[in-house]
Amino acid sequence: MITLAGLGRFFASSAVGLVFLTAACSEVVAKDNVAKTIMDQLQKQSIDAQNVTCPTDLQAITGQTVRCSFTVDGQPVDAIATVTSVDGSNVKYDITTEARPIAKDLLARKITEQVAQQAKLPVNSATCDADLQPMVKLHGTAFGLTEEDLTTAAKQYNELLTSYAA
């Protein structure tokens, strides 16, 4: 069976961490500080994130958010920082990640690599008709793919492998 190791992390939204930060005398957490906090939290989870950026500062008001972005292995991912409480100059916020569609060119490259590795045969290329949309389902407090989703994906990739092995 073909697995798309490395791409699975983009199929689910997840909480990255709970962060406390001193906002000093300002009423914002600087965008560079938010980006650094996101990078630090991702590194603690052994996620090799690149190019973490936030477009604006995070307002130190409960409920305020800023949508930041980063890449992992070329795939863009969103990180949302949401202020959960403010106590004087201490700002507490959650960071969650959100999957983006996997671009069809990146997906095709990854499939080509995976099929070649699994089949131990040279594969020139794969073609994908469209971006792969994130598939998430809420199960209690955890996110994940259903068994049906996994079975369908495995069947499609096995068919792809069979066509390349022929």
In a domain, 35, yes or no: yes
For the chain, give the mean pLDDT. Answer: 75
Please indicate whether residue 163 or residue 1 has the higher confidence score (pLDDT).
Answer: 163
Predicted local distance difference test score (pLDDT) of residue 156: 66
Residues 38 and 117 in one domain: no
Residue 6 pLDDT > 60, yes or no?
A: no
Residues 116 and 83 in one domain: no
The beta-carbon contacts of 24-28 under 8 Å, at least 24 apart in sequence, are 24/89, 25/89, 26/60, 27/59, 27/60, 27/61, 28/57, 28/58, 28/59, 28/60
Residue 59 pLDDT > 80, yes or no?
A: yes
Full residue range of the structural domain in which residue 59 is found: 8-98
Residues 49 and 25 in one domain: yes
Residues 90 and 124 in one domain: no
- Give CA–CA dist 23/17, Å, rounded: 18
In a domain, 2, yes or no: no
Please indicate whether residue 23 or residue 48 has the higher confidence score (pLDDT).
Answer: 48
Residue 53 pLDDT > 70, yes or no?
A: yes
Residues 16 and 93 in one domain: yes
Residues 86 and 129 in one domain: no
Please indicate whether residue 75 or residue 140 has the higher confidence score (pLDDT).
Answer: 75
With CA atoms as reference, report the closest residue to 70 among 34, 20, 106. Answer: 34
In a domain, 69, yes or no: yes
Residues 90 and 136 in one domain: no
The domain tally of the chain equals 2
Residues 17 and 33 in one domain: yes
Q: How confident is the model at residue 35 (pLDDT cuts 50, 70, 90)?
A: very high
Domain boundary, last residue among 66, 98, 130 = 98
Residues 93 and 39 in one domain: yes
DSSP bridge pairs for 81:
66, 95
Domain boundary, last residue among 98, 121, 150 = 98
Q: How confident is the model at residue 144 (pLDDT cuts 50, 70, 90)?
A: low
Please indicate whether residue 20 or residue 141 has the higher confidence score (pLDDT).
Answer: 20
In a domain, 1, yes or no: no
Predicted local distance difference test score (pLDDT) of residue 141: 34
Predicted local distance difference test score (pLDDT) of residue 163: 54
- Give CA–CA dist 31/21, Å, rounded: 12
Against a cut of 0.85, is the pTM above it? no
In this prediction, residues 152-157 reach a mean pLDDT of: 64
Residues 85 and 116 in one domain: no
Q: pLDDT digit string (tens) for 97-123?
A: 887 888 888 888 888 888 888 888 888
In a domain, 80, yes or no: yes
